[in-house]
Chains A and B, each alone.
Chain A
Amino acid sequence: MSTLKFLGKRLALSIFVLFGLSLLIFTIARVLPGDPVRMALGSRAPQWAVDNMREQMHLNDPLYAQYYYWLSGALHGDLGQSLFTRRAVSTDVKEFLPATLELAIFAGIIMAVFGVLLGAVSGRYSNTWIDNSVRIFSYIGIVTPSFVFAILFMLLFGYVLNVLPTVGRLSPWIHRPPVITGMVSLDALLSGNFAALGDAIRHMILPAVSLALGGMAQEARITRSTISDNLRKDYIASAKGFGVPERLVVLKYLLKPSLIPTVSIFGLDFASLLANAFLVELIFNWPGFSRYGINAMLNKDLNAVSAVVMILGVVFIVVNILVDLLVAWLDPRIRLGAERGK
C-alpha cells in the first residue's frame, strides 16, 4: 500500500467521522431541551421577535430539514450566525483560529522537544538521581490540571518575579505587524519586525508552558521506558562492541526506533492540549479560538459551539494523519511490511 493509498483511505474514513461528529453535535445543539433563540434573546424579549428568529433559523422545520440546512450551509463555509457576537460564525473563526493555532503549535513544539529530551536523558541514566527527578517531575505534570499551572505561573512569573507578560498577545507599545497569516509571531518574522517577534514569543511562553507540561510529562515517561528497554537490546550491545561511538549509537540507532511510541501518543497529547486551551486561554485572556469557544458555551451560543467542535474535529484529523505518516516514516516495519503485503 503506497502512502497515497493510505492517505486516501484515511481521508475517506475522516469524512465519515466528521459526518458522524456533525450528527452528534447537531443532536447536542438541537435535540436537548432548551430554546436557543430564547436563550440568545433573553427572557424579556417579545414573543414575536423569538418567532421571527425561529423562522429565520428554520427552527420550526422538522429536525432532518434543519440538519440538512445546517450541513449544506457548513459545507459552503456558512456556519450560521453567532447568536452572541451577532456576526457570521465564519468571520469569528477566521479572526480567532490563528491565535489558537499559533499557541498550540508553540506549545506542541515545547511539549515534543522537552518531553523527548527529558525522557531520553532519564532513560539513558535510568535509576540515577536524574531519572528520579524526571520521574517526580512527570508525576507533577500528569496530575496537575493545566488551569492550575496557568494560575501558578501567572502568580509566580507575572506578579512575584514580574518577568513575563500574563495577558494578551502583544504589549500595547509594540507596533502590530501586518496580518499575513494571523499568527502574530509568524507575521512579525515574515515582515522582519523582530521587536514584535520577541514580544509575541514572550507573551506565548506562560500559556504555552502551562499547556505543554501535562503532555510533556507523558512523552517523557514513554520515551524513558522505550529507551531503557531498547538500551538492553542485543543490537545496541553489538553496535557498542563494534566500537561505534556512544554518541552515534544513542542518536542514530537508539533514538529513532525509540521515538515510535512517543510519536504515536503525540496525537492524544495534542488533543488534550487543545482541550485544555479552553481553560488556559480564558485565564491568560488569550484572544483565541478556544476562548471564543468557551465563551460561546457559557453564553449558549449554539451555532458557534457546533462550529467550534466541528473545526476542532478537522484539526485533530489532520494532526492524527500527520502522526501516522511520521510513525510510518520512523518504523520501516509499517512501511515495508505494508508493501510486502500488497
Chain B
Amino acid sequence: MVHNTLLKRRLESLKKNWYKFSKNPVSVLGLFFVLAVSFVAIFAPYISPYPMHAGRYVNFVEASETPSLKHLCGTDVFGRDILSRIFFGFRYSLMMGAVVLSLVVVPGVVLGLVAGYYRGTWIDTVIMRVTDVFLAVPPLILALAICSVLTPSVFHAMMAVSLMWWPWYTRLVYGLSSSLRNEFFVQAAEVTGASRSHILFREILPNCVSSIFTKMSLDMGWVILIGSSLSFVGLGAQPPTPDLGTMVADGAKYLPDQWWIAIFPALAIMITVLGFNLIGDGFRDLFALEDI
C-alpha cells in the first residue's frame, strides 16, 4: 500500500517534469533528433535504400555519383550509397555512446559517492588523487595512446574511451556527495543507525540522479564525437565498417570535387551530437543545475 502511493507520487513528478520539458521547443527538437537517429539506426536494414552497401560492396559503374533521386547523398568511390552507409553508421555512433556510458557511469558514480562521503580521510585522498591523474590529460589523447598500442577496432576504441571517461563522473558525484553528507537528512539517517550502503545509495545517490542524468545526456554527444575522432585518424572502426568518422576521413581525400562523400557523414555526426546536447540542456534547465 505504502509502495503504491510512492509509485503514484513518482509517476506524478515524472509527468510534471515531462510537461515542463515538453514546453521547451528546443529540448523537444533535440528529443526528435535523437529519436529519429535511433529509429533509423535500429531499422537500418529495412529502411536503407541499399542495405548491402553498408559492408564490402563494390560497383564501379555508379562510383562517385553526385546526389540524385536515386542516391540522395550520392555515392562514394566504390559506388556505395552514402545515405545507406550513414543509416548504418548511426548504429556504431549510438553503440559507442551507449557502451561507453554503461561501462563508465556505475564505477565512476560509486567512487565519487564513497570519496565524497569519506571526505578528508585516506579513502578520499586515494580515490581523488587517482582521478586527478586521469584528468591530467584530455581523454581523447589518452584514448588515442591506448588505441595505438592495440589493434584498431570499434571494440578497442570503446574500451579505451571507457577507461578514460569514469573520472568525470567521480568528480561530479564527489562534489555533490561531499556537500550532501552534511545535510540534515543524512545526519538523521546516521543517527538512526542506517548502514553505510543505505546512506550512500538510498539517501545521497537519489539526490545526485538529476545531475548524473544530465551529464549522461551531454556525454552521449561527447563520446560520439571522441569516437568519430578516433576513427577519423584510423584508430577506431576499420573499413569497410560504415562508421561516420571513418567515412569523413575517407571522403576528405576527395575534396573539393566530390564534397558529398565527406560532408553528409559529417552532418550526420553533428545532428546526432546536437540532439543529445539539446536534451542535456533541457535537463539542465529542468533541474536548475548550473555547473555541469
The answer to the question of B133 belonging to the interface, with a C-beta cut-off of 8 Å to chain A, is: yes
One of B149, B256, B274 near A29 (C-beta < 8 A): B149
Roughly how many angstroms separate A279 CA and B226 CA in the complex, as a whole number?
11
Closest A residue, CB atoms, query B146: A28
One of A16, A24, A272, A308 near B138 (C-beta < 8 A): A272
User: With A20-B132, A154-B255, A155-B256 as given contacts, are A145 and B140 in contact (CB-CB < 8 Å)?
Assistant: no
Supply 7 further A-B pairs (C-beta < 8 A) apart from A151-B255, A160-B256.
A20-B132, A24-B133, A139-B278, A143-B273, A278-B141, A293-B141, A305-B148
Task: For the complex formed, measure the closest distance between the CB of A285 and the CB atoms of chain B, giving whole angstroms.
Answer: 13
- Residues of chain B from 209 to 261 with CB closer than 8 A to chain A in the complex: 221, 225, 228-229, 232-235, 248, 252, 255-256, 259
The answer to the question of B145 belonging to the interface, with a C-beta cut-off of 8 Å to chain A, is: yes
Interface of B is mostly: helix
Roughly how many angstroms separate A20 CA and B35 CA in the complex, as a whole number?
42
The answer to the question of B142 belonging to the interface, with a C-beta cut-off of 8 Å to chain A, is: yes
The answer to the question of B129 belonging to the interface, with a C-beta cut-off of 8 Å to chain A, is: yes
A residues in contact with B232, CB < 8 Å: 145, 147, 279
The answer to the question of A283 belonging to the interface, with a C-beta cut-off of 8 Å to chain B, is: yes
The answer to the question of B127 belonging to the interface, with a C-beta cut-off of 8 Å to chain A, is: no
The answer to the question of A17 belonging to the interface, with a C-beta cut-off of 8 Å to chain B, is: yes
The answer to the question of A297 belonging to the interface, with a C-beta cut-off of 8 Å to chain B, is: yes
B residues in contact with A305, CB < 8 Å: 145, 148-149
The answer to the question of A170 belonging to the interface, with a C-beta cut-off of 8 Å to chain B, is: no
The answer to the question of A302 belonging to the interface, with a C-beta cut-off of 8 Å to chain B, is: yes
A residues in contact with B221, CB < 8 Å: 143
Asked if A20 and B133 sit within 8 Å, CB to CB, the answer is: yes
The answer to the question of B6 belonging to the interface, with a C-beta cut-off of 8 Å to chain A, is: no
Residues of B within 8 A of A (CB-CB), count:
41
The answer to the question of B58 belonging to the interface, with a C-beta cut-off of 8 Å to chain A, is: no
25 contacts between A and B (CB under 8 A): A17-B132, A17-B133, A17-B136, A18-B136, A20-B133, A24-B134, A32-B149, A142-B273, A143-B270, A143-B274, A144-B270, A145-B266, A145-B270, A147-B229, A152-B266, A154-B255, A155-B255, A272-B140, A279-B229, A298-B233, A298-B235, A305-B149, A309-B137, A312-B138, A312-B141
The answer to the question of A322 belonging to the interface, with a C-beta cut-off of 8 Å to chain B, is: no
Task: For the complex formed, measure the closest distance between the CB of A322 and the CB atoms of chain B, giving whole angstroms.
Answer: 15
Instruction: Give per-residue flags for A246-283: 1 if the beta carbon is below 8 A from chain B beta carbons, else 0.
Output: 00000000000000000000000001101110110011
A residues in contact with B129, CB < 8 Å: 16-17, 20
Task: For the complex formed, measure the closest distance between the CB of B166 and the CB atoms of chain A, giving whole angstroms.
Answer: 13
Residues of A within 8 A of B (CB-CB), count:
51
Interface of A is mostly: helix
B residues apposed to A, CB below 8 Å: 129-130, 132-134, 136-142, 144-150, 221, 225, 228-229, 232-235, 248, 252, 255-256, 259, 262-263, 266, 269-270, 273-274, 277-278
Asked if A316 and B136 sit within 8 Å, CB to CB, the answer is: yes
B residues in contact with A17, CB < 8 Å: 129, 132-133, 136
User: With A154-B255, A297-B144 as given contacts, are A21 and B248 in contact (CB-CB < 8 Å)?
Assistant: no
- Residues of chain A from 292 to 315 with CB closer than 8 A to chain B in the complex: 293-294, 296-298, 300, 302, 305, 308-309, 312-313
The answer to the question of A77 belonging to the interface, with a C-beta cut-off of 8 Å to chain B, is: no
Roughly how many angstroms separate A300 CA and B147 CA in the complex, as a whole number?
10
Q: From B136, B229, B255, B259, name the one whose CB has the most chain A CB atoms within 10 angstroms.
A: B136
The answer to the question of A69 belonging to the interface, with a C-beta cut-off of 8 Å to chain B, is: no
Roughly how many angstroms separate A18 CA and B137 CA in the complex, as a whole number?
10
Asked if A279 and B233 sit within 8 Å, CB to CB, the answer is: yes
A residues in contact with B145, CB < 8 Å: 25, 28-29, 297, 305, 309
B residues in contact with A237, CB < 8 Å: none
A residues in contact with B277, CB < 8 Å: 139, 142-143
Task: For the complex formed, measure the closest distance between the CB of B283 and the CB atoms of chain A, giving whole angstroms.
Answer: 16
- Residues of chain A from 137 to 192 with CB closer than 8 A to chain B in the complex: 139-140, 142-145, 147-148, 151-152, 154-155, 159-160
Task: For the complex formed, measure the closest distance between the CB of A78 and the CB atoms of chain B, giving whole angstroms.
Answer: 20
Roughly how many angstroms separate A240 CA and B248 CA in the complex, as a whole number?
53
B residues in contact with A293, CB < 8 Å: 141
B residues in contact with A139, CB < 8 Å: 274, 277-278
The answer to the question of A317 belonging to the interface, with a C-beta cut-off of 8 Å to chain B, is: yes
Task: For the complex formed, measure the closest distance between the CB of B86 and the CB atoms of chain A, giving whole angstroms.
Answer: 14
A residues in contact with B263, CB < 8 Å: 152
The 7 closest A-B pairs by CB, nearest first: A20-B133, A297-B148, A275-B138, A275-B140, A143-B273, A159-B256, A143-B274
Closest A residue, CB atoms, query B139: A275
Asked if A278 and B252 sit within 8 Å, CB to CB, the answer is: no
Roughly how many angstroms separate A83 CA and B50 CA in the complex, as a whole number?
45
Roughly how many angstroms separate A34 CA and B150 CA in the complex, as a whole number?
8
Task: For the complex formed, measure the closest distance between the CB of B121 and the CB atoms of chain A, giving whole angstroms.
Answer: 18
One of A151, A309, A313 near B266 (C-beta < 8 A): A151
Asked if A21 and B149 sit within 8 Å, CB to CB, the answer is: no
Roughly how many angstroms separate A33 CA and B141 CA in the complex, as a whole number?
19
Task: For the complex formed, measure the closest distance between the CB of A245 and the CB atoms of chain B, giving whole angstroms.
Answer: 31
Roughly how many angstroms separate A24 CA and B146 CA in the complex, as a whole number?
11
A residues in contact with B144, CB < 8 Å: 278, 294, 297
Asked if A271 and B255 sit within 8 Å, CB to CB, the answer is: no
B residues in contact with A145, CB < 8 Å: 225, 228-229, 232, 266, 269-270
Closest A residue, CB atoms, query B30: A139
